[in-house]
Amino acid sequence: MNKTILFSPVGGTDPISESNKKEGSLLHICRFYRPDTIYMYLSGEMVRKHHEDDRYRYCINRLYENFGKTADIHAIENPELLNVHDFDYFYEEFLKHIKEILATMDETDRLIINISSGTPAMKSGLLVLYTLGGFAAKLIQVATPVQGMNEHHHSRNLNVQDLWECNIDNTPDTPNRCREVECPTLEVLTREKIIEQHLRAYDYPAALAIAQSIKEKSSGYRKYIEAAIFRNTLKFNDAKSIFPKEQLKFIFPVQDSNLIQSFEYVQNLVIKYRRKEFADFIRATTPVIVEMFLLVLLKQAHIDIKGSYARKNKHNALKWDGDKVINSDIFDILSRSFNNNFDPNSYVNSTSILHIIRKKISDPQIIKLAEDIRTVEESIRNSAAHQIVAIDEDYILRETGIKASAIVEKLKKLFELSCRSVDKDSWNSYDRMNDFIISQIKK
C-alpha cells in the first residue's frame, strides 16, 4: 500500500563508481526516491560481483540506515547472460519481469524505472517497452557527475566497505542528478496524432473527445480545443478569452466589433465547405448573406440598418421598424422596388437589402457580387429547405450553375472589397489556430 517500487538494471558504475567515487544511478535513485521495494536486474558480470561481496545490497542498506528505514531488495539474477547488447532479448526479458512486478501492485503503489544503468541495449529495451506497453510508471534518468560518459575503471583491491566510505555523494547537500523523463506511451502518441488529424479536418468535437480520453496528458492544450469549439459555434468572445493575448491577432485577424461577427459568420461557412458539409453549407447561406449585405451598406454607404431602421423581435430575428423606416429614403427605395407593396414591419431579408445596395453603392463590382450571391441563394436555398435531397457539389452546380467553391470565393471577395482591412490571408486564420493548438500538443 502506497509503496514506491524500483526496477533497475545494474551497470558497471553501480553502486559507486570506482573511478570518480560517486554514486551510480541505482544508488542515486535510492537516495532521492527512497523506494520501499527494489528489483535489481543482474547480468553475468554483475551476478559475479554480487556474489563476491554483496555490494549492491550493502550500499543500499547503508544508505537506508541514514533514513531510518529498510528496503525490500530483490536480486533478479541471470548468470548465463553474457551478450548484454541484444536489444530484442531485453525487450522480452524486461517485459516478463515488469509484468510480474505490476501483478503485485495495487492502485496506490507507484513504479519507477531506472533507465540510466546497464548497457545501451538494456536502456533502449526499457524505453521501447514503456512506450509500447502503456503501463503507469516514472522513467528516471540520472546525469553523470561529469555531465559526460562514465568511465569504467574497476579495482579488485578496493573492498565494498572502503568504496562506501569514499562515496563523495554521501553528504547532506549532494545535488540531485535524477530527472523524470516524459516519454509518452504509444497509445498517447497515437491518440495525439488522431487529435491533430481531427484539428486539420476542423472536427473540433471529435478532437476534444479524444483529448478527454487522455486527460492528464492533454491538460496543457485541451482548453484550446474547447476554445476552437466556441469559435466554430460563433461564440468567438468566449474563444478569445481562452487563447493567449499574444496569439489573438494571428488567430482572430478581425478585431473590429462591427466586423468580427460578419467575418466569423463567413469563416464558419468556409469551414462547412472545407468539411464538405454541403447541406449545412446551403442552410447557412441565408443568414450569412444578410449579414454580409448589411455590412456592405454600413462600410460603403455608412447606412446602419440594424441601428437606425430595424429591431430584433423576441426570437432574435431582425425586422424592419416601421416607425423608423417609414419616413426615410430607405422606405422610398423599398416601396418602389416592391411596387408599393413593401411592409415596413416585415422581416429584413437579402432581397430588400440588395435593392438598397443597388441604389446606395456606386462600386459596380460590389453590386455584381451581391447580385450573383443573391441569385445563388434564390436558386438553391428554397429547394434545399423544402425537399429531401442529397446535397453535394454536383447538386449545387446543377441548381445554381456555379461551383460551391466559387460561392465561397464570391462571399470572401465581397467582404474584402467592403472591408479593406480584411485580405486573403485573413481567411487562413482557422489554420493558424489549428497550428497553435498542435504546437501546444507537441510541447
The answer to whether residue 431 is domain-embedded is no
Task: State the cell numbers at 278.
Answer: 454541403
Number of domains in the chain: 3
- What pLDDT, in 10s, does the model give residues 308-317? 999 998 888 9
Cα torsion through 371, 375, 381, 382, rounded to 10: 120
Predicted model pTM: 0.64
Structural domain including 234 reads 187-251
The answer to whether residue 440 is domain-embedded is no
Pairwise CA distance, residues 259 & 416, whole Å: 11
The answer to whether residue 439 is domain-embedded is no
**Bridge partners, residue 418, by sequence:** none
Residue 337 buriedness (CB in 10 A; 0-12 / 13-18 / 19+): middle
The answer to whether residue 435 is domain-embedded is no
The answer to whether residue 438 is domain-embedded is no
Please report, in tens digits, the pLDDT of each residue of the chain (443 residues total). Answer: 899 999 999 999 999 998 889 999 999 999 999 999 999 999 999 999 999 999 999 999 999 999 999 999 999 999 988 777 777 788 889 999 999 999 999 999 999 999 999 988 899 889 888 887 768 899 999 998 765 445 555 445 578 999 899 999 998 899 999 999 877 777 788 899 999 999 999 999 999 999 998 887 889 999 999 999 999 999 999 999 999 999 999 999 998 887 888 899 999 999 999 999 988 888 888 888 998 899 999 999 999 999 999 999 888 899 999 999 998 999 999 999 999 999 999 999 999 999 999 999 999 999 999 999 998 888 876 665 566 677 888 988 888 888 999 999 999 999 888 887 788 889 999 999 999 999 999 88
For the chain, what percentages of helix, strand and coil (3-state, to nearest 5) are there? 55, 10, 35
Boundary-marking domain end, from 126, 155, 183: 183
- Answer yes or no: do 61 and 102 share one domain: yes
- Answer yes or no: do 265 and 307 share one domain: yes
Contacts of residue 129, defined as CB under 8 A and 6 or more positions apart, other chains included, come to 91, 94, 95, 98
- Answer yes or no: do 212 and 265 share one domain: no
Question: DSSP for 286-299?
Answer: HHHHHHHHHHHHHH
Question: DSSP for 47-110?
Answer: HHHHHHH-HHHHHHHHHHHHHT---EEEEEE-TT---TT-HHHHHHHHHHHHHHHHHT--TT-E
Give the other-Cβ count within 10 Å of 86's Cβ: 14
Q: Is the dihedral of CA 350, 355, 360, 364 positive or negative?
A: positive
The answer to whether residue 60 is domain-embedded is yes
Give residue 314's Cα distance to chain centre. Answer: 39
Boundary-marking domain end, from 233, 251, 269: 251
- Answer yes or no: do 306 and 356 share one domain: yes
CB 230 within 8 A of CB 236: yes
The answer to whether residue 282 is domain-embedded is yes
CATH code (residue 114): 3.40.50.10770
- Answer yes or no: do 242 and 286 share one domain: no
3 state DSSP class of 2 = coil
Pairwise CA distance, residues 335 & 94, whole Å: 86
Residue 236 buriedness (CB in 10 A; 0-12 / 13-18 / 19+): buried
Q: How long, in residues, is the chain?
A: 443
- Answer yes or no: do 44 and 145 share one domain: yes
The answer to whether residue 405 is domain-embedded is yes
Angle formed at CA 326 by CA 320 and CA 328, multiple of 5 degrees: 105
Pairwise CA distance, residues 208 & 205, whole Å: 5
- Answer yes or no: do 148 and 71 share one domain: yes
3 state DSSP class of 42 = strand
- Answer yes or no: do 267 and 236 share one domain: no
- Answer yes or no: do 194 and 45 share one domain: no
- Answer yes or no: do 210 and 166 share one domain: no
- Answer yes or no: do 90 and 27 share one domain: yes
As a whole-number percent, the residues of the chain with pLDDT over 70 amount to: 95
- Answer yes or no: do 112 and 39 share one domain: yes
CB 198 within 8 A of CB 229: no
